């Protein structure tokens, strides 16, 4: 399944990225693979250099590709931050921005990034099987988003859907894609 992200209306000054698409696949039960393709003037983007794959906080402050996954009808969800450097973070929330904790059971994602002059591709493989609050027999809700920083410091904010007002990737309106157990098999 391929989905296009939309630029938030407050991102007009940051024009180096012209589009973002995400390909979703399930290479095995409970394993989510995401391929983000950022199109535009890639040389104008602030892409962090490769670093050792490690859990790192506050990745969202710079170029970061994100996925939010929760069980349909439940308030809780997981947030995954994926940086072009190979660094990552995973958090669990028990409600909208509530009771944030490190998602220890998520395992280390595999991240690979590559660039050409007009495309940056980041592929991440996330193991979701066994995470509390994500039943394999339930529908899951998904939100995909991105923070794209330019070398001039301007940022653009992208998501499948944006709530009214400022960009807020945690907002329930952003969880616009639902995945049934059959789709994830």
Arithmetic mean of pLDDT, 132-149: 93
Domains in the chain: boundaries: 2-184
Summarize pLDDT for 10-62 with one digit per residue, the tens: 888 899 999 999 999 999 888 999 999 999 999 999 999 988 889 999 999 99
Rounded CA separation 179/57 (Å): 28
SS3 31: strand
> For the whole model, what pTM was predicted?
0.95
Arithmetic mean of pLDDT, 127-135: 91
Q: Given this model, what pLDDT does residue 183 score?
A: 83
DSSP for 83-117?
-TTS-EEEEEESBTTBS-EE-GGG-PPEEEEEEET
Q: Given this model, what pLDDT does residue 80 score?
A: 97
Q: Given this model, what pLDDT does residue 161 score?
A: 95
Domain range 2-184, CATH architecture? Sandwich (2.60)
Task: Please say if the pLDDT value at position 167 is more than 80.
Answer: yes
Summarize pLDDT for 63-115 with one digit per residue, the tens: 999 999 999 989 999 999 999 999 999 999 999 999 999 998 878 899 999 99
Scored b (16 or more CB within 10 A) or e, 116-148 reads eeeebbbbbbbbbeebebbeeebebbbbbbbbb
């Amino acid at each position: 399944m391929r989905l296009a992200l939309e630029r938030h209306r407050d991102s007009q000054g940051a024009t180096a990225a012209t589009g973002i698409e995400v390909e979703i696949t399930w290479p095995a039960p409970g394993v989510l693979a995401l391929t983000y393709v950022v199109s535009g003037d890639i040389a104008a983007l602030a892409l962090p250099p490769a670093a050792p794959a490690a859990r790192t906080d506050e990745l969202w402050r710079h170029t970061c590709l994100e996925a939010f996954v929760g069980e349909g009808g439940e308030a809780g969800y997981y947030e995954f931050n994926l940086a072009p450097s190979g660094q990552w973070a995973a958090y669990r929330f028990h409600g909208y921005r509530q009771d944030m904790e490190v998602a220890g059971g998520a395992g280390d994602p595999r991240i690979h990034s590559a660039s050409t002059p007009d495309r940056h591709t980041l592929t991440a493989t996330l193991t979701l099987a066994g995470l509390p609050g994500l039943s394999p027999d339930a529908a899951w809700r998904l939100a995909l988003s991105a923070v794209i920083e330019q070398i001039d410091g301007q940022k653009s904010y992208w998501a499948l859907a944006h709530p009214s007002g400022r960009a807020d990737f945690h907002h329930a309106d952003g969880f616009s894609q639902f995945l049934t157990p059959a789709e994830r098999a």
